[in-house]
Amino acid sequence: MITEGAARRVHIIQGEYKVLSDPDAVLTTILGSCVAACLRDPVAGVGGMNHFLLPGTGNTPMTGGDATRYGVHLMELLINGLLKKGARRDRLEAKIFGGAKTISTFSNVGEQNAAFAVQFLRDEGIPVVSSSTGGEHGRKIEYWPVSGRARQYPLTGAETQKTVALEQRPAAPQKPAETSIEFF
């Protein structure tokens, strides 16, 4: 039995994903219009979470940090990360969170994010066993990747606005790959 205080907390931010097999670990994130997909293989005892800002792939070629903003990239990374840790695709199950309409005057990218996640998982043959998407307020998510247990906390209006501000920041530039060669 996991006690709340004993859990090792691993926070996921926009553009990240994590895969863990530690039964004492809990993955956490804070979402506004972003979506987090939580996937696990209950037999292999491995699970993970991602956190994406935009649905699909976008209309421009993805390079460096740009790719981490899009759902298709992070969904593929999460699934491949699970498979590398011993999961099997036919045993995966998913939970989806987020996709709030946090600013009434903006397009509903949150709804598009949630619809993208559902369609992507359907296309991949991965059942969605639970979801909590939409609404007008952000959420704090806790997900235990080995057991599949999930818990969410609604954010207040002020907390949601802070989350919106974080979501609107440009993605941090990725360090370019080293391309020089040194000869000895």
pLDDT in tens, 60-70: 444 555 666 78
User: What are the residue numbers of the active site?
Assistant: 34
| pTM (whole model) above 0.85 | no
The DSSP annotation for 17-77 comes to EEEE--TTEEEEEEESS-EEEEEEETTTTEEEEE-BSBSS--SS---GGGGGGBHHHHHHH
Domain limits, the chain: 9-168
Determine the residue type at 131: S
pLDDT at 182: 45
pLDDT in tens, 121-160: 999 999 999 999 999 889 999 999 999 999 999 987 666 5
pLDDT in tens, 74-100: 999 999 999 999 999 999 999 999 999
In this prediction, residue 173 has a pLDDT band, given cuts at 50, 70 and 90, of very low
The DSSP annotation for 22-37 comes to -TTEEEEEEESS-EEE
The fold adopted by the segment(s) 9-168 is 60s Ribosomal Protein L30; Chain: A; (3.30.1330)
The DSSP annotation for 90-157 comes to GG-EEEEEE-----TTS--HHHHHHHHHHHHHHHHT--EEEEEE-SSS-EEEEE-TTT--EEEEEPPH
Q: Is pLDDT of 58 > 70?
A: no
CA 33/CA 160 separation, integer angstroms: 10
